[in-house]
Amino acid sequence: MRKRKSPAFTLLESLIAMFMLSLVLTFTALLFHKSYQVTRKLDEKERTRQAARMGLDRITSELREAVEITDSGGGVLEFLKIDPNATIVEPEAEPEDPEDDFEPAPYNAMIAYPLSSRLRVRYRTENEKLIREVRRASGGGWVGQVVVVGVNSFLCEQNPDNRGEVDVTVSVLDNRIVKTISSRVLCPCIREEFGV
């Protein structure tokens, strides 16, 4: 067999190799571009889903603390809850030697936590923002904050047959399509108790 003198590639070999390499690189770049586009689209979807989930989670977890729901119509939710920093008014101590006609002094939720220990919380949406406002139940101005951006609206429906059971539905705009996410909340402080 005759051996070529020069160990280098011929021009044709180099051209073919370069053409094949550019083909491989182009397809790889296309593949990466496509996967980047898909990832970006999924990220947008995820952000929308996360906004809905965060909004719903925030409303439901605080609504669970409600002691009274005062307004739940027209895209507004307003309820009363106990101030987390409030201290309880303790019940009177037992008498040492009670009389036979002893009757304990009345003690209930309003005595344990008077109006000054309660907060009025309001949720509403404005320009695709979920806003939480809070003020003392005894009076004062509202203090508001944006909870999450991207929430279109929300709806709260109280079950008339089961007090304290509320269905919360949050809607978001996903690529101009309205998508909803719902959750059922049982408020322990509003629920009717068993016949004790």
Partner 1 sequence: MMRISRGHGFVLVAMLLISVILLVSGLGIMSAQASRYAASAVISEGLQARNAALSGLEDVRVKLAKDVKFPPRKSKDRGQSKFAYSEDLSTDPEVSYSVVVDYGLEREVNVPSRFEPFRWGIYRITVSGYVGPRNEPIAQSLIYAEYDIGSGAFIRFEDRGSL
Gap between the Cα atoms of 3 and 48, Å rounded: 67
64: helix, coil or strand?
coil
Q: Containing H/E element for 128? A: none
CB 52 within 8 A of CB 179: yes
Site for partner 1 in 106-145 (CB under 8 A): 107-109, 112-113
Residue 8 near partner 1 by CB under 8 A = yes
Q: 165: which strand partners? A: 186
Q: Contact with partner 1 (CB under 8 A): which of 15, 16, 20, 25?
A: 25
Q: Contact with partner 1 (CB under 8 A): which of 15, 16, 17, 149?
A: 17
Residue 35 near partner 1 by CB under 8 A = yes
Continuous H helices in 79-172: 109-112
CB 119 within 8 A of CB 136: yes
Q: Contact with partner 1 (CB under 8 A): which of 10, 28, 70, 159?
A: 28
Binding site for partner 1 (CB under 8 A): 7-9, 17, 21, 24-25, 28, 32, 35, 39, 61, 64-65, 67, 82, 84, 88, 90-95, 98, 100-104, 107-109, 112-113, 187-189, 191, 193-194, 196
